[in-house]
Structure 1
């Protein structure tokens, strides 16, 4: 696990200055998921990602944390294009992306490492 963290999320902070963040429930102190940005080499863009434990789905955590991450990134780094990769059957996640201001761009191709996934994107800041 340590090697995985060093190779991916910690490397993202060292190379790009941003990465994924743990999301902790303030009442219980339990880890409930993650949210954050990473630079996708395959897409040549900054990708917003989030994942929460099932009992936290539908409670607004993804929208709240992703909005905070995007706002912080724009404040620190300026205007930017942010993308998200989503399973087209995941209506909940697509709803979150729409709330954040991302819109459907195109289906991803197999050579982009996807297959049946969709790319959403949005511009943030003074773009």
Structure 2
């Protein structure tokens, strides 16, 4: 948990997005367009809360809403170029921070992390 908090703290100081808003941008970057309901479920928040988050992101130019061509009743949230560049900039900053920290580890410690990574990934995927 401390590592996650530290990685979050390495986000770009150029924007003041909430953690939920940043997570929404990340989800859209990884998964592509999603409905408000799917975003709310992914972030484990109520739909009205996600609506407020997406509205704020839309007002800032990070996302747009588009009709779902497959389901005329649904609206998809789409990442704009600004949203995508924000996600990539944040990821680059976090990756640089982590790379600097990993270089300070011993080769044995880096090997332990390399072997543990798949186990940690499986744990993260368990609901």
TM-score class, shorter-chain normalisation, is 0.3 to 0.5
Relative to total residues, which structure has the larger strand share, 1 or 2? 1
Question: What TM-score do the two structures reach when normalised by structure 2?
Answer: 0.33
Question: What TM-score do the two structures reach when normalised by structure 1?
Answer: 0.33
Relative to total residues, which structure has the larger helix share, 1 or 2? 2
Q: Greater relative contact order: 1 or 2 (C-alpha under 8 angstroms, separation 6 or more)?
A: 2
